[in-house]
Each structure stands twice: as C-alpha cells, then as structure tokens.
Amino acid sequence: MQTKGRSRHFIYTDWILIETQFDPEQLQSKETVFTIGNGYLGTRGSFEEGHPHALPATFINGVYDDVPVVYTELVNCPDWLPLVVIVNGDRFRLDQGEILSYDRQLDLRQGLLIRALRWRSPSGNTIDIYFERFASLADPHVLALRCKITPVDFDGLIEVQASINGYPENQGFNHWEGLDQGKTKQGIWLQRRTRNSRIELGMAAKVTISGTEASLQVSTAPGYPTLSTTYEAKAQQTVTVEKIVTVFTSREIETPVPAAQEKLAQLPDYATLQKANLQAWDEVWQQSDIMIEGDSTATFAVRYNLFQLLIAGPQHDDRVSIPAKTLSGFGYRGHIFWDTEIFMLPLFLFTQPAIAHNLLTYRWHTLPGAQRKAAHYGYKGAMYAWESADTGDEVTPRWALESDFYGEDVRIWCRDREIHINADIPYGIWNYWQATGDDQWMQECGAEVILDAAIFWGSRVEFAPEQEKYEIRGVIGADEYHEFVHNNAFTNRMAQWHLEKAIAVYDWLVDKFPERASELEEKLKLTSEERAHWQDIIAKILFFYDPSTELIEQIEGFFQLEDINLAEYEPRDRSMQAILGIEKTNKFQVLKQPDVLMLLYLMRESADFPYNKKALQTNWDYYAPRTDITYGSSLGPAVHAILASDLGKSTEAYKQFMHALMVDLEDNRGNTKDGIHGATAGGVWQAVIFGFGGIQLTENGPVANPHLPPGWTRLKFKLHWRGEWHEFDLRPEQVAQDITNQSKSLQVSPSANPPNLRSEASEHQTCSATSPGSPAPSSPPVPNPQSQSEATDNLNIQGFIFDLDGVLTDTAELHYLGWQKLADEEGIPFNREANEALRGVSRRASLMLILKDRPYSEAQIEEMMERKNRYYVELMQKMTPQDLLPGAIAFLDELRQAGIKIGIGSGSKNARTVIERLGIADKIDAIADGYSVQEPKPAPDLFLYAAKQLGLEPEQSVVVEDAAAGVEAALAAGMWAVGLGPAERVGAAHVVLPSLAGVKWADLRAKLSNIARQKDLGTSK
C-alpha cells in the first residue's frame, strides 16, 4: 500500500521515499530529507547539477572550525557532487528549460539516492537523465555517483563535467585554505586545510564512461579540479558516467592526500562498490530494523527516522558524537547537546552497541573541556558544555542575532544555566553499562566521567540553613521557557540520581578495580569528605511535591505563576514564546517541552522516585495541558506519546507519535531545511519500542508488554542486551511477550529510594480486601463464576499462578543465608527465628526489620541491599531441578495436560533466573516478577498482571501461595487462593494444604467447587 505525504509530493512504500514533483519552494527542506551518509560523513540531497537557491553541504563528523569571535561550527567540506551536463550548448538545470517528468527516490534499504528526469532544454532538445549516488557504508572514505544520459529526440553534442568544488561555504563563510591540487593516472585530487583548527583534507576522484567513445580531459582551475568529456550523442543511446570519490582528513591519518589517492587506485568498479554497500546495509538492518504491519505511513516513516540516525552514528571514531541536526544541515552549527545521550543513544545502545560506545567515549575525550568550563565558573570537577564541538569546551553562542536589523539581540542563557546536562550524560553512561555489562570501558572511561561530573554538583549546590536543605538556584530546566529559576524538579532529582550512582560506581571500583579507584581518587582529588558530602546532598536536596497527590512542582513558585489555557490561543502556527514574548512567557505556567514529565520518563524504566502510575497520572493531568507540544520543542511529542501510552490514552499517544514521526517528512515545524531533528528521530524509536512495544528491562533481559496502536497488526524488532539478541514479534492479541532466547543472569542495580523524597510504600499500595496486619476474614471472598447456580459444572478455572519461594522451591533458605552473611558482616544479631518475619516481605522492608533503629544513611542502605542481592544471586547459581519442592513438577505437568495455563507471580527480581535454574521455563506461560508492577504484595497488582499476561479474568485464576501477604493479594484480586503451610499463616485462603506433595488437580478442583457450591447455597437462602 502507498500513502501520499501531505503537500510534499511524497509517496511512501515500505522502504522507499518517492518524490513525484519538483517544488522549488521546498528545495532546501528536501535537501535535508534526501540526505545520505555513512557515519563518517553526511551529504545533503542537493542536485548534482546545482541550483541557484540550493544549500549543498557535506559534513565530515569532527571537522570543526571557528568563525572568529562569533562561534565554532561543523565545517561544510569540499563538494564531491558536481556533475554538469550540457546539451547542445544548454546547461541542464531545473531553473531553466521544462521538466517533463520527475521522480526522486531514497532507498533506505541500501542508502541509495536516485533521481530520474525527462527535461526539455530551452532549445527544444528532450533528454532523459538518471542519477544515483551513495556514501559507502562498507568503506566510509568512499563516495560514488552514477549518471545515465539518454537523448530522446535528437542527435547532438553533449558535454559532461565532473568536478570537486573546493569553495564550499557555511552560509557565507568559507573555512578552507587552498593548499594544492592536481591530477594522477586515476583522475584529480584536491588538498584543503581549515583556517583555524588546521585540519587538512584530501579528496580524489576518477570518472569512467561507457556507452560511447569518449576521452577525458583534466582542468585544474584553482580550487575546482574537473574531469570532462564531450561526445556525439545519438537519439535513444544511453551513456553512463560513473564518478568515484575518496576522502580523508588529518583527524584520522597524517597524510590525507596520498591516502585518498592510494584508496582511489585500489578501488574496484562502481557495481562492486555498490554491492559491498548493500551488504553492509543488510547487516545493519538485520539488527536495527523495525517492521510494522497495518500502518503504511508508519512502516516507512519509522524506518526513515532510523536511517537518518544510522547514517549519523560514528562507526569508527570515538572522538565524535551526533550533532543535534545530525550531519544533514547547518542548524545549531553541528553542536552536540543532551539530545544525543537522552534521545538518540537508546537506538544504538540496543541495536548498534559499538556506536553507543563511541558516542559515550566522546564525552570521556572531551572531559578536559568540561573541567575548563567548571573552573571558568568557579566550580570543581567537570561541568559539561550545553553545546559542545570537538574539544568539549562551551560553544553555545552568547547572543542570538535577530534577522531584523533593528531588533534586539537575545542573550542565550543556556550556556550558563542549563546544567542538567551534567547528569544527563552520566544517565546515558549508566544505561550503557547496564545494557552491555562493559566493565572494562566503565572502569577506564565511564567511571571517570560520572565521578568528575558528580564533583561539580558538590560545588554547585547551596545549603539553605533555615530549611536544612540543599538547593540548586539560578538554572534553566528541561522546560526552557523559564530562564532563571530555582530548584527545578528535573535538575534537582537528576543531580541527586547522579550522586547516588556516583557512590555506587565508586564502591564498585573499590571492589573490582581498586588500583583504578586509587588512581581516580588522586587524579580527581576525590576524598572521603567529598563522598560524605554527596550522601548529605542526596538526603537533603529540595524537591517540591505533595505526597498525598504526587503532584510535583516544576520549579520553586511555579504554582504561583499565572495560569494559561492554550486552547484560547488556537489556531496558531508558532510557539507560545513567539506569541507572548520572552519576558511574559516567564510569568506563565506554560512549558516549551516536558520537564516534570520528562523526569518521570527517565525514572520510568527503573521505577526510581518519583515515578509511579499515580504520579504519572497526576502530573500528566496537570502539565500536559500546559505544554506547548505543537510548536514549543520537537523533543516533546515522542515523550508524550510514550507516557500517554502508559496511561492507556491510545488516541493521544498515536497523535503525538505521528507528530514526532513526520516532523521532517512533512516539515511540520517549518525548519527541516536546517537539518534532521535527530532527537525526535531517537524519540520515535523509543516511542515504538518502549511505548507501543511496552519493553521493560528485567534482570534476564527485555520483556514486551505491548499495547499496539489501533490498526497495527504486527510489530517486529530486535534488541541487544548483554551480548544476547532478543527478537520480538508482537501482535494485537498478545498481552505480553517474553524474551525469545535464554539469557545469562543479569544484574541490575537496585533503584535509589531517597528517604526525604519517597513516601513509604504503604502510602502507594493499592487498597486490598484485607489491610496489612488486620485479622484474616472468617470467610474468604469467593470468585464469582458466570453461573454460580451450577458451580460444579461451571467452575471456570483456566489458570494457576504460583509464587516461587516456599511453593515451587525453597529459595527462603538462600535468602536466609544471604541475610545472615550480611548481618554477620555488619555485626547485627540475626537467626532463623528472626528470618521468619521476612517471609513475603520486600528486600528493603526486610533490611529495615533487620536494622531496626540502627542509624544508616540511604547510600549505606542501598549498598547493603545490593550486597545481599549479590550473595543471593551467587547462591542461586548453584540451584538445579533437584531444588524443586516435592510434588511441584508432578502438579505442573498434570495442570498442563489438563490444558491449564501456568503463570508465576513472584515479587523477586530474580524470578526468571530461578525458573531457568529449576529447568521449568518450558512449563511456564507467563511471568510476573519484581519488575512487572509498582506495588508489592499484599496489593493485588502482581497477580492481576500475571492473569492479564495469561489472558484470564481474575475469577478464572487460582493463586498458590505460602505467605499471608500473598494470600491477601490473591483475595484482593478476586482470585481463588490456595495456601501452603500452617493455618495460622495462610488460613485466609480458600484451601489450605501442607505442600504440593500428592496434590491432584481433580481433588483440588472438587474442593474449590464445593466451596463455590456452599457459597451459592448460602447466597440463595
């Protein structure tokens, strides 16, 4: 199926973008849309023959230069495209003559740009011209172009000129000095050097002509070496011209010109190069493709957004990152923002981890620049630039120059105040470490960035003695409409999160790489007093929110600002800041982009404070209507799409997703000419995977809980996690899909739980039928089958949900041994009797019971929970099928033979590993574990989640539990409850058994039927 794009003359197929009409008004934005590249460079979709209004550009990643006094920018490199065709004296160009037919295609599958035209010259000669070009993904230094020329209705003289243009400009400024140029046996070459950064470039080109007898001549006009030929053309005779170009810079090799010449001399023909390029793209798409069925526009547009990121991702260079506008335009002058780590990185992290490694290593290489910025502002450690280039120094322009000659210049405060990037970068590093387990890189590079950037926070916060709290004053938050604010929720919580992880990383280094820990202590002047200061900040940082409603105040005093109703300003075609003005916008409760909601999104995956479903709903209701989502920032719609999907707002989710998806294809913000919206493209990937695919990252890898948009009949993709590939093939009827291959035990560090921020778990627990600690009901509630009057015949039980510990296996002993080892190390009395109180209790609550009133900091508590979990996992690795409790395997097999679905409902975050070690993974249809829901037992959430995965209603489900909290949760869920163990512990269950030994499904069903019948008889009386 094909879908026409709105007013852009586009047709979308699964893999190909087709433009059916040339529109000179959209020339520059289309140049962006048709960008090609290979991670080393990007070339805009400018015409080979040129156009008076074009903005041609080739950007090589990392090639920056200064415009004196004003700014640093990514340099427009010499243009390799020029190929001029002259027909009987008339130069082929689209601003003259007549276009009789026009077709331009971008083939994403092989990174190939194609253009086919029929053109009538001013003299009346009609000619067919076909162009195609690619930047080789197989060899980043190779570029190739092919042109086919076919006269339609004439014989005549045709001249072809293939050149390198050594005079490229960055919108009026030429960064290049001419050094030399010349010719070789293969063709022509050019040598250039940037004026200030002194980067040398070498480019070489050769031309091959087939289909006619023609010789090549070389012209070496200064800065414009050219290969040309003239031949007698015959009607309907096709001549093919192939131009192959090589390029190197002194960033990667000392002698770029000889390197380019040698490479050119060794290259095979065009067809062979194209085949290698296609094979390279096949490998990339094997890993990164997303297949959507049922939505033809999304099918192509998702792939298009991925393509634009893939051609910008550095495959072979860890000293560069991806600019906000990728390598496709002059916007933001090629600078790198938080966009890369927060929005673009996840695509690479989960499909191209080598590129993710390079993106983050760039931040390590640029650490000296961040240190210089911190020192400049009078702070310690590393203060990362809001906009960075090659050195990591701040390159955000100080002023925005108005196009109006009489307009006032606008001060850009982001360089001074938008400091949350200092935590955003560690956020990306932490996620890379969790997803890859790359300990070597972490200790060599990542840890230094996290620790040095954390030192900055220690010097940036201010202590308010009257409140006994730490503040971060004078900042710009993620919402950039408010330019001088105090205690921005996003900034404060991200700083706190960063410090929590810095402590964890330091402790890990001391444990695993003590020499590196000592080295960094000395290098960064990282003292025990500094780390104690971090812990104090974690415990006392200001964060404004209402524990009863979970509403978070975006900045200090935000609720006192004047409220706004955005609907009153519709219809509009510009941002609210453009309508209100900068000064007035600061006084309104209007957001450029998500701030509190952005924070919730970043904390969503690990369920760190302040994320929970109630907080999301409350803050969505407040902040979404106040966010300028259409014209504020392109970063917002994808995030709103994911969160709306979480909240079950499928219509809103899809609307915002499409707004993000088509931002460049439809130029819906009117600035596509400046370059691809890279952050939006990354947000699109996240919206599909984490939003519609519902991917959650568990100890054993990614798990899908899909909620596909209406009309989507299939969603298929791959994710890479800790060295393993996981394939997902999701369809609307599926509730959840687990990973498709076995995975090693993967450790995920516990989430932080700051005592001054997070209310106690009991405040968030879902109300259940029996409150914690209250007496068991004398008669447990009976699930209500469709026809209780015939309970014996209609007992509609279709699934069992088993707890693990004490039901199928005795991991309680392993937990006990783990807690005992921890208690012994801490000198705390602990025995088996004390361990009984921990049955069915969460890890944190268990530790609190062990510690009693002993004073420990939050960081110490987190460390002890992580240590105990480490001991437990070590013990768990020794488990075998022999550790199944008596009767367990026989009962599971009997249920499966009876067609009963089997689920696991365990609060353990290690449940999947236990199941694998026990050898029963093939007997389990669904798993709900400690990562599946927010609220633990006795809230019913875990069992309701398991039933949903099984596709069952609560009354169709039987829960088998050995803990009072588990029985209580089952009853609150409206399910049948079978308790294993003494009646004083599980007596609230419908049926109480000593264990599963000797239990038969027929006998158990009879007991449940009898209970249902007795209940029905009692009701009828």
Known catalytic residues are: 480
Both tokens assigned to 880: 């075998």
User: 3-class DSSP state for residue 113?
Assistant: strand
User: 3-class DSSP state for residue 351?
Assistant: helix
Alpha-carbon distances of 679 from 150, 338, 358, rounded to whole Å: 42, 9, 18
d(CA 750, CA 228): 66
| Cβ neighbours of residue 581 closer than 8 Å, sequence gap 6 or more | none
d(CA 476, CA 445): 28
Both tokens assigned to 923: 């007997």
Is-cis flag, bond preceding 256, omega within 30? no
d(CA 327, CA 329): 6
d(CA 121, CA 193): 39
Q: Compute the Cα dihedral for 870, 871, 877, 882 and give only its sign.
A: negative
**Residue matched to tokens 């470490």:** 433
Phi, psi of 509 (to 5 degrees): -60, -45
Phi, psi of 253 (to 5 degrees): -155, 145
d(CA 345, CA 348): 5
- Give, rounded to a whole angstrom, the gap between the first and last alpha carbons of the chain: 63
d(CA 750, CA 842): 12
d(CA 962, CA 805): 8
Q: What is the dihedral of CA 821, 823, 825, 828, to 10 degrees?
A: -150
Q: Are the C-beta atoms of 728 and 715 separated by less than 8 Å? A: yes
| Cβ neighbours of residue 286 closer than 8 Å, sequence gap 6 or more | 718
d(CA 27, CA 361): 37
d(CA 493, CA 596): 10
Both tokens assigned to 859: 């960081």
190 bridge partner residues: 181, 203
For residue 479, the 8-state DSSP code is S
**Residue matched to tokens 């005549």:** 156
